[in-house]
Amino acid sequence: MSKIKYSKSKNKAQERTRISGKFGTIVIVIMLAVIAFTAIYPIYFTLNSSLKTQADWSKSKFSLPIPPNFENFKTAWNRALVPRTFLNSVIVTIGGVAVTFLVCILAAYSATKVRLKSRNLIFIFLIASMMIPVQTILYPFFKTMRDFHLTDSYLGLILAFATFQIPITLFQYAAYLKRVPNEIIEAAKIDGASTLRIIFSLMIPIAKPVIFTAALINFAWMWNELLLPLMVLQSPKMQTLIVSLAGLKGQYGTFPTLISAGVFIGIIPVTIIYLFLQNQIIKGMTAGTVKG
């Protein structure tokens, strides 16, 4: 009799666990659906608005663009000087990402693998710079750039981008390289490898996931940044794509359809880069979460 009661209670417990598990799964799915909707809908709304005429948009902001109107893209392309400003963005963004990578991979290796008495102090100093509000250093930063004749030049903006992204990128690299066993480095040194050879032939391949993840984060930030390009690049022909597209509102009044077309043009490069690197990004975000 007691065995039957035990069996019934066990079945009830299992049933409650199963129901609780299903309920938890449903809640998670609903939450993920809400997050996906909030991420996708703004892109859909922007594209939908960009394919409408101003009259159609005024009548209904949420209706489908039937037939689609591509005139907004043509107008935004011409008024924002997209070929030139796109090239400017490519140069300064890739340059900023490359400089940030080079400085941070060398600094992260030095901070985690090289035995220096002051390495912890230097590392803490660099990381602590993340706590300084950007607004408090903009004027002295601009004055320094002007004194070194780096304003209105690609090099000036590249160095500006790298300056503001080095602390967080260094933190990401150092956290990853710290887990690399020192025995691997010692073995490479025994084989006669120099420090630079160890970094570029050993550390970089090992740290590829975090490098790709940080590169995409830096690329997206540098591509979409408004304040630094406005401060450093003063000539209209030197401006970046995002700054030029943002100027559509001020130059030509408030035309939501034209501005939406400009915004959509601006996000295309970052979207393409993400699609190509998404596997590496996922690896970088999940690296170290499962122990081997």
CATH fold for the domain made of 79-286: MetI-like fold (1.10.3720)
Report which secondary-structure segment, H or E, holds 124. Answer: helix 119-128
Its pTM surpasses 0.75: yes
Per-residue CA distances from 136 to 141, 193, 203 (Å) = 9, 44, 36
Q: Is the pLDDT of residue 145 over 70?
A: yes
Q: Is the pLDDT of residue 288 over 60?
A: no
Domain range list for the chain:
2-50, 79-286
How much is the average pLDDT of 57-81?
85
Q: Which of 102, 110, 94, 138 is nearest to 270 (CA)?
A: 94
Give the tens place of pLDDT for each residue, 192-234: 888 889 999 899 998 888 898 899 899 999 999 988 998 898 8
d(CA 33, CA 27): 10
In terms of Cβ atoms closer than 10 Å to its own Cβ (0-12, 13-18, 19+), residue 224 is middle
d(CA 66, CA 52): 8
